[in-house]
């Protein structure tokens, strides 16, 4: 080829889809191009084209608009327009014009067809749907995950348990249990009563409760087994299991799938797979005697997030790991408070709300919490819970979880109430939805008990979901609320393109990317009465119902994962530079490919919001 067209070749070479072409094809490509110049205000695509072309913008800007003249897309340098080659890329765009004087390369559709036929990698760019592209993007993120130890923290418990469960019937003797344990060379055995887990016996139980206590080995295992077991589900993350073990001072956790026993997780299993780093973090939280100790431990949280991001752990798992550490810190603070204030006068549960409840926290977000207290509470108990809330909230603040600016904290008397009052609150929010209620809804409809009386919280949650399930008016309000945060249209040069055609230098990836999806997931969960709080789990559960198609559900899950990953990398970069992590992303941080995938993700959200607007007539109530 004429090497002299190297400038044009190089321009194409660094841009998808042309970057997928082999050297030889790429070198030939400039010769197939034609160059035009469109003055600002001229129609695009040019009306006088004698055949179909794919257009590549070399300089300038092109705006594409829909029937109602709303801006759909703005192309800048390197932007590609393929619609005239029967490739639907800007589905909603009906017309366009040059927003600036523009230099345009055009490539005949016929030639494009030839290239697509001969180069599969190039072809893929055009053939894939948004859905495939997003899937691929998420897969690529995960494929890059290395075998670094911290990445192992995000494995699930089921990956760590190797043996099938060792069980013994409740009517067996202690000796039989000991024999079985020796035979199988295990340190614990699960005791079953008619297919159900009744308890466990460990080496320590044999030592302390049997031999040392002088109990005959002919006695039944039920005499010495540990009941009231803490169990974990097999899809629990390793780090969460670690936190649970450390918190309970136990070395064995039965692993269930639903109600079925599938194995036993031991501290040794974990130790083999944990990084010393997070293992230390867990035990340091445990060992911390004062708030100051905890604050020091907590300083390592950004490092953990950074390492997780660097190991390319899925965003879903990073959020889970961070939330899990926050849970452990919170639990430890509550224990310290109880140690100081004495045991609680009546049962209570410490509730977390918002991103921590959804298991989607990034390091050191604001604290959102509340206290749920048993109805037996007397006025004289108020002081105890007030003091408890203050200690824990102050402690969290000292640990970097700053006070909630909206005062959605247990220290606020309004959010430190009995089960009866909480029920009343939710009743009002659900039956008389108002803007204020909607604002709170995004906090308190994502709720989870971290510590204390879990049953009481389950009762409240069941009550809430019973009231929201199939509640058309409430759902319409929630849907309208979910439409308030719109994703950007895309990117244009160093700007973010938002509805109405305005430009921003940065965009808030939380409010314009993540919040819209969590809002959508919440609407489905409440409408269908689904128990999950985590956005991905909510979407997966909703995709099993009639309100959300499986395909759309998958798209949203992928969109969430991709956006959340971008956010985590952005924050990891800030942590590396010693800047406080935030949610403000500048398009300049993004590669062409990331921009493209983000745009796909935005389009998925937009489609869902449009569908939601129709389904729930969301716009009507605001």
Partner 1 sequence: MLKHFLSLDSLRKRALSKAEPGALHDYLSTPLTSKRTQCEELSIVSLDLETTGLDPTKDKILSFGLVEMQHMTIKLETARHQLISIEDEIPEASAVIHQITDDQAATGVPLDEALPELLQRLAGKVMLVHYSAIEQNFISAACQKLFGAPFVIPIIDTLVLARRIFEHRNHTIQTGDLRLFNLRPRYNLPNYKAHNALSDAVATAELFLAMASDMVPQPSQCQLRRFLTR
Nearest CA to 512 out of 489, 533, 492, 544 is that of: 489
Residue 100 interacting with partner 1 (CB under 8 A): yes
Beta carbon of residue 593, minimum distance to partner 1 (angstroms, whole number): 22
Mark the segment that binds partner 1 (CB under 8 A) among 101-109, 193-201, 586-594, 609-617.
101-109
Characterize the bridge pairing of strands 80-81 and 53-59.
antiparallel
Q: Is 30 in the site for partner 1 (CB under 8 A)?
A: yes
Q: Which stretch binds partner 1 (CB under 8 A): 31-39, 215-223, 454-462, 506-514?
A: 31-39
Q: Does the footprint of partner 1 cover residue 218 (CB under 8 A)?
A: no
Question: Please, what is the minimum distance in Å from the beta carbon of residue 9 to partner 1?
Answer: 11
Asked if residue 542 binds partner 1 (CB under 8 A), the reply is: no
d(CA 540, CA 532) in angstroms, rounded, equals 10
390 touching partner 1, by CB under 8 A: no
CB atoms within 10 A of CB 496: 22
- CA distances from residue 181 to 96, 213, 261 in whole angstroms, order as listed: 75, 20, 17
Distance in angstroms (rounded) separating the CA atoms of residues 535 and 446: 10
Q: State the minimum distance, in angstroms, from the CB of residue 21 to partner 1.
A: 16
What is the C-alpha to C-alpha distance for residues 33 and 17, in angstroms, rounded to an integer? Answer: 15
For the CB of residue 102, give the shortest distance to partner 1 in the complex, in Å. 7
Q: Where are the alpha helices (DSSP H) in 274-314?
A: 276-287, 291-298, 301-310
34 scored as a contact of partner 1 (CB under 8 A): yes
Quick one: which of 15, 36, 204, 390 contacts partner 1 (CB under 8 A)? 36
**97 binding partner 1? (CB under 8 A):** no
Nearer to partner 1 by C-beta: 51 or 185?
Answer: 51
Q: Which is nearer to partner 1, 103 or 421 (CB)?
A: 103
**Beta strands 252-257 and 232-233, pairing class:** parallel
**6 binds partner 1, rule: CB under 8 A:** yes
Under the criterion CB under 8 A, does residue 8 sit at the interface with partner 1? yes
**Which is nearest to 200 in space by CA: 241, 154, 256?**
256
C-alpha 563/C-alpha 566 separation (Å) is 5
Which residue's entry shows tokens 């979901």?
465
Task: Check if the beta carbon of residue 301 is closer than 8 Å to that of residue 568.
Answer: no
Q: Is 47 in the site for partner 1 (CB under 8 A)?
A: no
Nearest-angstrom CA–CA distance, 509 and 400: 22
CA nearest neighbour of 470 among 512, 405, 524: 524
Q: Decide: is 32 part of the binding site for partner 1 (CB under 8 A).
A: yes
CB closer to partner 1, 37 vs 280: 37
102 binds partner 1 (CB under 8 A): yes
In angstroms, the Cα distances linking 67 to 91, 104, 280, 558 are 11, 24, 60, 30
> CB of 410: closest distance to partner 1 in angstroms?
59
Check residue 403 for interaction with partner 1 (CB under 8 A).
no
Q: Are 605 and 469 in contact (CB under 8 A)?
A: no
Question: H helices within 399-434, ranges in order?
Answer: 419-431
What 3 state SS string does 466-519 have? Answer: HHHCCCHHHHHHHHHHHCCCCCCCEEECCEEECHHHCEECCEEHHHHHHHHHHH
208 DSSP assignment: I
Minimum gap (Å) between residue 288 Cβ and partner 1? 59
- Which helix (H) or strand (E) element contains residue 534? none
Choices 5-13, 155-163, 234-242, 245-253 (CB under 8 A): range interacting with partner 1: 5-13
Least spacing, CB of residue 38 vs partner 1, in Å = 8
Smaller CB distance to partner 1: residue 37 or 403?
37
Q: Least CB distance from residue 37 to partner 1, whole Å?
A: 4
Smallest distance, partner 1 to C-beta of residue 81, A: 16
Per DSSP, what are the bridge partners of residue 71? 65
Nearest residue (CB) to partner 1, 4 versus 380: 4
The least distance separating partner 1 from the CB of residue 11, rounded to whole angstroms, comes to 8
Q: Does 38 bind partner 1 (CB under 8 A)?
A: yes
Report the C-alpha gap between 482 and 613 in whole angstroms.
Answer: 9
Instruction: Check residue 67 for interaction with partner 1 (CB under 8 A).
Output: no
Decide: is 90 part of the binding site for partner 1 (CB under 8 A).
Answer: no
Which residue in 66, 84, 89, 101 binds partner 1 (CB under 8 A)? Answer: 101
Q: Does 25 bind partner 1 (CB under 8 A)?
A: no
Q: Which is nearer to partner 1, 101 or 128 (CB)?
A: 101
From CA 192, how far away is CA 196, in angstroms rounded? 5
C-alpha distance from residue 219 to each of 225, 429, 460 (Å) = 11, 56, 42
Q: Does 196 bind partner 1 (CB under 8 A)?
A: no
- Return the residues of window 167-186 that contact partner 1 according to CB under 8 A: none
- Can residue 35 be called a binding residue for partner 1 (CB under 8 A)? yes
Of the candidates 592, 436, 509, 491, the one whose C-alpha atom is nearest the C-alpha of residue 75 is 491
Interface with partner 1 includes 74 (CB under 8 A)? Answer: no
Closer residue to partner 1 (CB): 106 or 323:
106
- Binding partner 1 by CB under 8 A: which of 14, 31, 163, 272? 31
- Asked if 103 is part of the footprint of partner 1 (rule: CB under 8 A), the reply reads yes
Tokens (6 digits) for 405: 């600016």
43 is a site residue for partner 1 (CB under 8 A): no
DSSP tag of 166: P
Among 14, 22, 39, 414, binds partner 1 (CB under 8 A): 39
87 contributes a contact to partner 1 by CB under 8 A? no
Q: Give the list of residues 6+ apart from residue 404 with CB closer than 8 angstroms, or none.
A: 366, 367, 368
Query: Which residues of this chain interact with partner 1, rule CB under 8 A?
Result: 2, 4-8, 30-39, 42, 48, 58-60, 77, 100-103, 106
């Amino acid at each position: 080829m004429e090497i002299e067209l190297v400038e044009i070749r190089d321009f194409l070479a660094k841009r998808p889809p042309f970057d997928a072409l082999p050297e030889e094809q790429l070198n030939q490509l400039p010769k197939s191009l034609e160059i035009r110049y469109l003055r600002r205000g001229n129609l695009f695509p040019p009306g006088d084209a004698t055949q179909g072309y794919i257009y590549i913008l070399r300089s300038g800007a092109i705006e594409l608009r829909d029937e109602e003249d709303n801006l759909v897309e703005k192309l800048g340098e390197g932007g590609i327009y393929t619609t005239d080659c029967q490739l639907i890329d800007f589905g909603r765009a009906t017309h366009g014009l040059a927003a600036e004087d523009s230099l345009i390369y055009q490539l005949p559709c016929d030639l494009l067809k030839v290239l697509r036929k001969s180069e599969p990698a190039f072809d893929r760019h055009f053939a894939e749907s948004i859905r495939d592209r997003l899937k691929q993007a998420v897969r690529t993120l995960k494929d890059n995950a290395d075998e670094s130890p911290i990445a192992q923290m995000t494995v699930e418990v089921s990956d760590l348990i190797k043996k099938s469960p060792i069980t013994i019937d409740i009517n067996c003797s202690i000796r039989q249990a000991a024999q079985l344990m020796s035979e199988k060379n295990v340190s614990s055995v699960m005791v079953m009563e008619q297919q159900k887990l009744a308890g466990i016996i460990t080496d320590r139980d044999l030592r302390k409760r049997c031999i040392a206590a002088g109990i005959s080995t002919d006695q039944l295992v039920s005499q010495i087994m540990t009941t009231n077991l803490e169990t974990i589900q097999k899809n629990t993350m390793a780090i969460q299991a670690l936190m649970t073990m450390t918190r309970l001072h136990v070395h064995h956790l039965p692993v269930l799938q639903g109600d079925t026993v599938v194995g036993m997780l031991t501290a040794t299993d974990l130790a083999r797979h944990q990084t010393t780093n997070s293992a230390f973090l867990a035990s340091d939280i445990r060992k911390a005697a004062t708030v100051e100790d905890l604050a020091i431990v907590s300083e390592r949280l950004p490092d953990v997030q950074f390492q997780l991001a660097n190991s390319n752990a899925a965003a879903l798992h990073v959020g889970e790991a961070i939330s899990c550490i926050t849970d452990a810190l919170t639990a430890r603070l509550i224990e310290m408070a109880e140690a100081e204030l004495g045991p609680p006068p009546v049962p209570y549960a410490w509730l977390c709300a918002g991103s921590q409840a959804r298991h989607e926290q990034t390091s050191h977000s604001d604290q959102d919490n509340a206290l749920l207290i048993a109805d037996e509470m007397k006025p004289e108990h108020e002081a105890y819970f007030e003091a408890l809330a203050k200690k824990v909230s102050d402690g969290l603040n000292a640990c970097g979880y700053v006070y909630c600016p909206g005062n959605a904290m247990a220290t606020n008397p309004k959010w430190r109430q009995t089960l009866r009052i909480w029920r009343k609150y939710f009743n009002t929010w659900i039956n008389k939805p108002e803007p204020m209620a909607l604002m709170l809804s995004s906090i308190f409809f994502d709720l989870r008990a971290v510590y204390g009386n879990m049953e009481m919280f389950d009762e409240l949650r069941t009550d809430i979901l019973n009231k929201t399930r199939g509640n058309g008016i409430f759902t319409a309000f929630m849907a309208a609320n979910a439409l308030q945060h719109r994703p950007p249209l895309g990117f244009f040069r160093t700007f973010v393109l938002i509805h109405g055609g305005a430009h921003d230098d940065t965009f808030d990836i939380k409010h314009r990317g993540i919040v819209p999806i969590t809002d959508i997931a919440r609407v489905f969960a409440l409408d269908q009465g689904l128990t999950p709080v985590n956005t991905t789990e909510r979407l997966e559960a909703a995709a099993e119902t009639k309100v959300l198609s499986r395909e759309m559900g998958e798209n949203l899950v992928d969109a969430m994962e991709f956006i959340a990953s971008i956010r985590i990398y952005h924050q990891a970069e800030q942590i590396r530079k010693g800047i406080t992590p935030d949610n403000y992303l500048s398009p300049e941080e993004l590669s062409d490919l990331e921009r493209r995938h983000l745009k796909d993700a935005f389009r998925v959200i937009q489609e869902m919001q449009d569908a939601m607007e129709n389904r729930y007539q969301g716009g009507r109530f605001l």
